[in-house]
Amino acid sequence: MRKRLATLAIIGLSTIAFGQQMPQFSQYLRNQYMVNPGAAGVYDFVDVTLGGRMQWVGFDNAPLSSYIYVSSPLSKRPKVRYNPALRTSIGPVRNPEIKTGKLKHALGGMVIADQYGAFRQLKGAITYALHIPVSQNYNLSFGANVGLSNRSFLSDRAQTLNLIETTLGYTDPTYDAYAQSSNLNTIDIGAGLYFYSDRLFLGVSADQLTRDFISFGGTDLVNVDPKTHVKFTAGYKFPISDNLTLTPAILGKFMQPAPVSLEGSLQLEYKEWLWFALSYRQGVGGFNNSDAAIIMAGLNISERFKFGYSFDYSISQFNQHSSGGHELVLGLMLGR
């Protein structure tokens, strides 16, 4: 019975103003491209990253999100000759350098799958970014992406609504409306500015700028109203010693009429190889279900692979039913 009530809560929360229109990921600090299209191509190699996130573990049909993205600058690289030392070297593998001071173009692409309760969203997008040198140490990037989103209502997952109909003997008109028009496709456009150096980053971006201006494949009964999401990020890496750096960062998210969400993070890196981080996510004002404390860790496994894990502990009223959330990220760095 508790899980059925939990399922009802999930569906109810999903229905309220389509509150979770876009998935959120805890490891934003190390995956800036997922926050801001202007961050595509910051590193001078092909960055392929795969991530998955489970929220509110313990609920039936709890939110599940996954993504894969690729980003790379459009620049000719010198040929790298075979070096046996690359295969026999051991020890910490430092983060790749962030190079500035030169004009560069970059491309990126992503696919995101997000499911919460009886709702599912699939999105694919391509990105172009132009990186302009402000000085030898700082670049300003402008990025834009164009994508296609499909939003669906999965009637077979609305078990609680069917249970209500059977128990109380009436038909829910909201359920019928969703079930009869089960999907909607929209063209999504996003843009972002990203100012960065090897230690500093500042970014502002917006997603779903066109909302449902260009839509097809569904009807108004779906009750989907895509909102523009605005995000702000900032962070600075402070060297503590030869082997330790500390990076405080912040992520702010706003979508009218939902409350503002703020997330503060503190990341500690050892030899730019092994990292630990703590974050705190808090909604400011109004109904909010995303308050959480987060612990993260990861490392560069080799010159080619990177790994990250995070655990979210909800500090909202849902922690009585949920055992938290998990997020895994695996990255492939080609052409370092």
pLDDT of the residue at 7? 44
Q: Which residue has the higher pLDDT, 92 or 104?
A: 104
Q: Over the stretch 173-206, which tens digit does the pLDDT of each residue have?
A: 555 555 555 678 899 999 999 999 999 999 999 9
33 has a pLDDT exceeding 90: yes
At a CB cut-off of 8 Å and minimum separation 6, what does 78 contact? Answer: none
- Residue 147 C-alpha from the chain's centroid: 15
pLDDT of the residue at 242? 92
Amino acid identity at 144: A
Q: Give all domains of the chain, ordered by start, each with its CATH number.
A: 2-75+100-334 (2.40.160.40)
78 has a pLDDT exceeding 50: no
Amino acid identity at 85: A
Lowest mean pLDDT among 181-190, 204-213, 239-248: 181-190
SS3 305: strand
Q: Where are the alpha helices (DSSP H) in 65-158?
A: 85-88
Do the strands 139-153 and 119-133 form a parallel or antiparallel pair, or are they unpaired? antiparallel
What is the average pLDDT score of the chain?
82
Q: What is the DSSP letter of 237?
A: P
pLDDT of the residue at 90? 61
Instruction: Determine the average pLDDT of the residues in 15-21.
Output: 47
Q: Which residue has the higher pLDDT, 54 or 146?
A: 146
Amino acid identity at 180: Q
Q: What is the DSSP letter of 231?
A: E
Query: Greatest CA separation found in the chain?
Result: 74
Q: Over the stretch 262-296, which tens digit does the pLDDT of each residue have?
A: 999 999 999 999 999 999 998 776 545 568 899 99
- The dihedral through the CA atoms of 15, 327, 46, 252 has a sign that is positive
Instruction: Determine the average pLDDT of the residues in 294-303.
Output: 96
Please, what is the Cα angle at 20 between 201 and 18, to 5 degrees?
A: 140
The DSSP result for 31-84, as a single string, is: -GGGT-GGGTT-SSSEEEEEEEEE-SBTBTT--EEEEEEEEEE----PPPPP-T
Percent of the chain residues topping a pLDDT of 70:
73
Lowest mean pLDDT among 83-92, 102-111, 204-213, 322-331: 83-92
